[in-house]
């Protein structure tokens, strides 16, 4: 039974039309779209798979569908609703997030996607004292990388949105009120020292202006538990830095507060990159900590679990069609049962297992 | 009872050989226990009496290889053994008439407790037939003419045995032809016990024939015997073949298989325990499940992130082709990651025994020991 043969029909269907009956089927994203919508943010193993198969296929699954349903029915006059995707390791939270981002991109939302907030709290090379606020720290590298990707993702909006304040960068450069956001972004990319401040400005402006209703804003953060956890960064005198002393984190926290309208906030909590959290923790409360939980409360939690049997079958069929499983027993029933048992229907594990086959 | 004790003490010390030492003397000797058809013939067998004392000095080690035991010597040993047995029975307060070999072993372990790890190095007292290796008498008479007609082949008993077996095969086939000619032939399929017995191994055959064999000889012999047993034989031939089979203890019979227990909803389940290194596991296997496994309350995917451990868990189910059919709940403690996986696997296998038939249990055990 070649399920995939039917899914090719689905791929041409606009994702807005994804409904209950499409659960378990794959849909295609063309490679060009991939470059514009996801300059960053796909999990690395998935990127490798895309490169191997020469096409990107995401599976339609229930949590993502649920979220899409909510998003379609949001009332943009109300404050932004927060959705938190949580689940055990390898169940597909990041890919569900990417599904949603793609959907919103198709619907012409402005995507504010932070691929992994954990990257901002650990392994940072250079910390500068912030120019804007003396007590905070800047991370020029991460900020500039993110600005570049943001620019690629949202080109068309950057010229439309106008800045509402005047910002002075240094003695010679400044941005006037009313100039397009693209200038701010350019400034951040060129002057790496000011990149963090540029990020802060972008976030502030977007938040302010999305309430006006010109565009819809989607804030998507992966690994949001990094915002309230601990960091591994130290000052020169080897004392630990708290997250709020990092400018990027501080601005991001303001972003995920639901005091603005006209969009939605979708977050995932993940243990994989988190610091100082036990391996088995996957509930939002454990991973966010008390402070984070209080800040994010109220939110709508969405559990992402392992594949159900239909999805598992579909995944195996997909691999078989792309000739990914070369073992002769992979086609048989017992082979499938073995894979089922060994991975217990966990998508990440199944993918790793099949890599050997 | 001082005097008899002293004498029996001497006899007993004489008897208590270290068996390992005796195994050196395996070469051609002068006396053979089961010399077929050699009882006739001249009695003037030139004997080289090299009677080995209980203690050997270093000088005699080279001479040990050509050691030989005469008929009289062995007879004397047997008498002494019997007397010693009666004395031992007296000492232990048991009846000398009904004193079996097991009683002797028990008495010896009681009287001479030994802390040696190697079981064969401990004191033993057995019948001389078991201790002294079988040796061959001289195969030729006074005039130099050999007794057996196949002497010049070099392996006379082996070839004579082959002749005998082949003769039996021909005989059976002849009988079959006769029956077929008469029209009374009936195809009777042979049913042999597949698991209970095995062929002799090469060492055992060598010991039986008191001759050295090569691997090809042994293989040839076994092929011939299998051919013979494949034909419909009658009692005499069965008995002939039976001489070359040894029973294999069915080990799984020792392991009690508990019947299935039923809990409130009427679903069948069974428990099993397993140990490996220092890990202890107890597993409860439910029938009609969906393949979920829970360990100490945690899903097995989280408990064993390493694929190798999960493969260990999969093995009993995979073997019986029951991968998605049972639910398991188990508790495990002690040991490390890999030994816990092994312990759970054993417990699950034991619990699964209640769900399957006995033959499959035996098959599972054999496959596991082979694999």
**Contact flag A341-B307 (C-beta cutoff 8 Å):** no
Determine whether the interchain pair A341/B310 forms a contact, defined as Cβ–Cβ distance below 8 Å: yes
d(CA B217, CA B223): 10
Pairwise CB contact (< 8 Å): B323 & A334: yes
What's the Cα-to-Cα distance from A164 to each of A109, A143, A174, A180, B188, rounded to whole Å? 21, 22, 13, 9, 102
Name the interface residues of B facing A (CB cutoff 8 Å): 291, 298-302, 307, 310-311, 314, 317-318, 321, 323-324
Tell me which residues of chain B have a pLDDT lower than 70: 1-67, 185-196, 249-264, 266, 357-371
Kindly report the backbone phi and psi dihedral angles of residue A127, in degrees, each rounded to the nearest multiple of 5, phi listed first: -115, 125
Q: What are the two backbone dihedrals, phi and then psi, of residue A90, each rounded to the nearest 5 degrees? A: 85, 10
Closest Cα in chain A to B312: A342
Q: Which residues of A touch B318 (CB under 8 A)?
A: 334, 338, 341
Q: How far apart are CA B219 and CA B228, in angstroms?
A: 14
CB contact under 8 A, B318 and A349: no
Residue of B290, B294, B298, B302 to mutate, interface with A, max A Cβ within 10 Å: B302
Q: Under an 8 A CB cutoff, do B323 and A88 touch?
A: no
pLDDT for the residue numbered B76? 92
Nearest CA in chain A to B323: A337
- What gap in Å lies between CA A315 and CA A309, rounded to an integer? 10
Q: Which residue of B has its CA nearest to A89?
A: B302
Chain A residues at the B interface, defined by Cβ less than 8 Å, are: 88, 280, 334, 337-338, 340-344, 346, 349, 353
Asked if B324 and A340 come within 8 Å (Cβ–Cβ), the reply is: yes
Question: Nearest CA of chain A to the CA of B311: how many Å?
Answer: 7
- SS3 state of residue A234: strand
Helix axes B215-230, B156-182, angle to 10 degrees: 20
For residue A269, the distance in angstroms to the closest alpha carbon of chain B comes to: 18
Interface test with B, best of A341, A354, A356 (most B CBs within 10 A): A341
* Strand pairing class (B261-262; B293-295): unpaired
Going by the DSSP 8-state scheme, the letter that residue B141 receives in this structure is -
Q: Quick one: closest CA in B to A345, which residue?
A: B301
CB atoms A280 and B298 under 8 Å? yes
pLDDT of residue B30: 42
* Facing A353 at nearest CB: one of B291, B300, B307: B307
Nearest chain A residue to B320, by CA:
A334
Angle at A177 between CA A176 and CA A178, to 5 degrees: 110
Contact between B291 and A340 using a beta-carbon 8 Å cutoff: yes
* pLDDT for B13: 47
Q: Cα distance from B326 to chain A (closest Cα, Å)?
A: 12
Q: Give CA–CA dist A16/A296, Å, rounded.
A: 28
Output the pLDDT for position B38: 45
Contacts of residue A283 in chain B, CB cutoff 8 Å?
Answer: none
- What residues does B41 pair with on adjacent strands? none
Q: Which of B290, B300, B301, B303 to mutate to test the interface with A (most CBs of A within 10 A)?
A: B301
Question: What is the spatial distance between Cα B255 and Cα B362, in angstroms, rounded to a whole number?
Answer: 11
- Of A334, A338, A346, Cβ closest to residue B301: A346
A356 neighbourhood in chain B, CB within 8 Å: none
| A344 contact residues in B (CB cutoff 8 A) | 299-301
Facing residue for B323 by CB, picked from A341, A346, A349:
A341
Mean pLDDT per 10-residue interval, chain A, length 357 residues: 36 47 68 77 80 78 81 80 82 82 81 81 75 77 84 80 78 78 82 82 81 79 79 78 80 80 81 72 74 80 81 79 74 75 74 72
Alpha helices in A174-283 (DSSP H): 181-190, 195-210, 247-255
CB contact under 8 A, B321 and A334: yes
- The nearest CA of chain B is from the CA of A270 a distance in Å of 15
| Chain B residues with beta carbon closer than 8 angstroms to that of A346 | 301
Report helix angle B235-242 to B215-230, nearest 10.
150
Placement of tokens 């009658």 in the chain: B234
3-state secondary structure of A114: strand
A138 beta partners:
A128
Its ipTM equals: 0.71
DSSP category for residue B214: -
The reported pLDDT for the residue numbered A356 is 67
Contacts of B281 (CB under 8 A, 6+ apart): B273, B274, B275, B330, B331, B332, B333, B340, B343, B344, B346, B347
Taking the CB of residue A110, how many other CB atoms lie within 10 A of it? 25
Whole-model pTM above 0.90? no
A to B CB pairs, distance under 8 Å: 34
Q: Is A161 exposed, middle or buried (0-12, 13-18, 19+ CB in 10 A)?
A: buried
The neighbouring-strand residues paired with B275 are B280
Please answer whether residues A174 and A166 qualify as being in contact, where contact means their C-beta atoms are separated by less than 8 angstroms: yes
Taking the C-alpha atoms of residue B164 and residue B166, their distance in angstroms, rounded to an integer, is 5
Instruction: For residue B301, give the nearest of A334, A338, A344 by CB distance.
Output: A344
Contact A280 B310 (CB under 8 A): no
Give pLDDT, residue A67.
Answer: 82
- pLDDT score recorded for residue B250: 61
List the structure tokens of B128. Answer: 């001389």
8 Å CB contact of B317 and A341: yes
Contact residues, chain B, for A349 at CB < 8 Å: 301, 307
Distance from CA of B279 to the nearest CA of A (A): 22
- Distances, alpha carbon A250 to alpha carbons A54, A120, A188, A191, A244, in Å: 39, 11, 18, 21, 5
Give the count of alpha carbons within 13 A of A302, CB side only: 26
Which residues of A are less than 8 Å from B311 in CB distance? 342
CB–CB contact A342 B307 (8 Å) = yes
CA A280 to chain B, closest CA, distance in angstroms equals 7
C-alpha to C-alpha distances, B291 to A18, B22, B317, B324, B326, nearest whole angstrom? 32, 58, 9, 4, 5
- Measured distance CA(A124)–CA(A145) in Å, rounded: 13
Interface test with B, best of A307, A344, A351 (most B CBs within 10 A): A344
Q: How far off is chain B from A337, nearest CA to CA, in Å?
A: 7
d(CA A131, CA A140): 12
Angle between helices A3-11 and A309-321 (to 10 degrees): 90
Paired strand residues for B268 = B262
pLDDT value at residue B20: 43
> Closest to A338 (Cβ–Cβ): which among B298, B302, B318?
B318
- CB contacts of A337 in chain B (<8 Å) are 323-324
């Amino acid at each position: 039974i070649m399920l995939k043969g039917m899914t090719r029909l689905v791929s041409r269907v606009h994702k807005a039309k994804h409904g209950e009956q499409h659960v378990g089927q794959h849909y295609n994203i063309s490679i060009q779209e991939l470059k514009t919508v996801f300059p960053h943010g796909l999990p690395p193993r998935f990127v490798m798979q895309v490169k191997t198969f020469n096409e990107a296929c995401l599976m339609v699954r229930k949590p993502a569908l649920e979220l899409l349903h909510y998003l379609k029915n949001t009332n943009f006059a109300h404050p932004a609703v927060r959705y938190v995707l949580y689940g055990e390791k390898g169940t597909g939270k990041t890919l569900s997030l990417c599904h949603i981002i793609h959907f919103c991109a198709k619907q012409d939302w402005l995507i504010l996607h932070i691929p992994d907030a954990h990257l901002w709290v650990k392994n940072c090379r250079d910390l500068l004292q912030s120019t804007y606020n003396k007590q905070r720290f800047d991370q020029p590298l991460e900020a500039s990388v993110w600005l570049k990707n943001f620019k690629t993702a949202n080109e068309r909006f950057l010229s439309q949105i106008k800045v509402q304040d005047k910002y002075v960068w240094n003695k010679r450069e400044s941005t006037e009120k009313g100039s397009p956001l693209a200038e701010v972004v350019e400034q951040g990319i060129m002057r790496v020292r000011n990149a963090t401040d540029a990020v802060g400005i972008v976030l502030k402006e977007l938040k302010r202006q999305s309430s006006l209703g010109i565009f819809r804003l989607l804030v998507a953060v992966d690994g949001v538990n990094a915002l309230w956890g601990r960091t591994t960064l130290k000052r020169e005198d080897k004392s630990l830095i708290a997250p709020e002393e990092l400018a990027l984190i501080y601005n991001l926290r303001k972003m995920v507060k639901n005091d603005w309208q006209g969009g939605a906030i979708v977050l995932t909590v993940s243990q994989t990159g988190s610091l100082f959290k036990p391996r088995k923790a996957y509930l939002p409360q454990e991973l966010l900590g008390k402070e984070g939980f209080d800040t994010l409360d109220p939110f709508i939690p969405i559990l992402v679990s392992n594949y159900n049997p239909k999805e598992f079958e579909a995944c195996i069929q997909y691999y078989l069609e792309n000739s990914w499983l070369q073992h002769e027993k992979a086609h048989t029933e017992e082979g499938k049962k073995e894979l089922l048992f060994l991975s217990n229907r966990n998508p990440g594990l199944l993918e790793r297992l099949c890599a050997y086959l | 009872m001082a005097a008899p004790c002293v004498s029996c003490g001497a006899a007993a010390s004489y008897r208590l050989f270290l068996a390992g030492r005796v195994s050196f003397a395996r070469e051609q000797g002068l006396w053979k226990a089961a010399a077929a058809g050699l009882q006739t013939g001249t009695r003037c067998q030139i004997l080289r009496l090299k009677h080995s004392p209980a203690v050997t000095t270093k000088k005699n080690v080279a001479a040990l290889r050509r050691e030989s035991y005469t008929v009289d010597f062995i007879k004397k040993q047997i008498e002494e053994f019997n007397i010693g047995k009666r004395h031992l029975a007296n000492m232990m307060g048991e009846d000398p008439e009904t004193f079996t070999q097991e009683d002797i072993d028990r008495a010896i372990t009681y009287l001479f407790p030994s802390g040696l790890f190697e079981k064969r190095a401990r004191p033993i007292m057995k019948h001389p037939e078991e201790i002294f290796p079988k040796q061959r008498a001289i195969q030729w008479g006074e005039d130099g003419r050999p007794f057996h007609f196949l002497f010049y082949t070099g392996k006379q008993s082996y070839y004579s045995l082959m002749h005998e077996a082949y003769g039996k095969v021909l005989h059976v086939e002849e009988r079959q032809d006769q029956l077929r000619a008469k029209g009374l032939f009936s195809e009777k399929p042979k049913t042999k016990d597949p698991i209970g017995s095995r062929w002799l191994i090469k060492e055992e055959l060598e010991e039986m024939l008191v001759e050295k064999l090569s691997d090809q000889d042994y293989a040839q012999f076994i092929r011939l015997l299998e051919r013979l047993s494949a034909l419909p034989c009658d009692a005499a031939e069965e008995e002939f073949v039976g001489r070359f089979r040894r029973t294999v203890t069915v080990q799984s019979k020792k392991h009690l298989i508990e019947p299935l227990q039923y809990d409130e909803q009427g679903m069948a389940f069974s428990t099993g325990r397993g140990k490996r290194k220092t890990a202890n596991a107890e597993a409860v296997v439910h029938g009609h499940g969906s393949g979920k496994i829970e360990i100490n309350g945690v899903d097995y995917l989280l408990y064993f992130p390493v694929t190798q451990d999960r493969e260990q868990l999969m093995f009993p189910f995979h073997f019986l082709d029951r991968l998605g059919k049972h639910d398991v709940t188990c508790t495990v403690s002690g040991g490390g990651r890999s030994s816990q996986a092994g312990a759970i696997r054993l417990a699950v296998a034991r619990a699964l025994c209640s769900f399957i038939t006995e033959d499959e249990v035996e098959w599972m055990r054999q496959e596991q020991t082979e694999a």
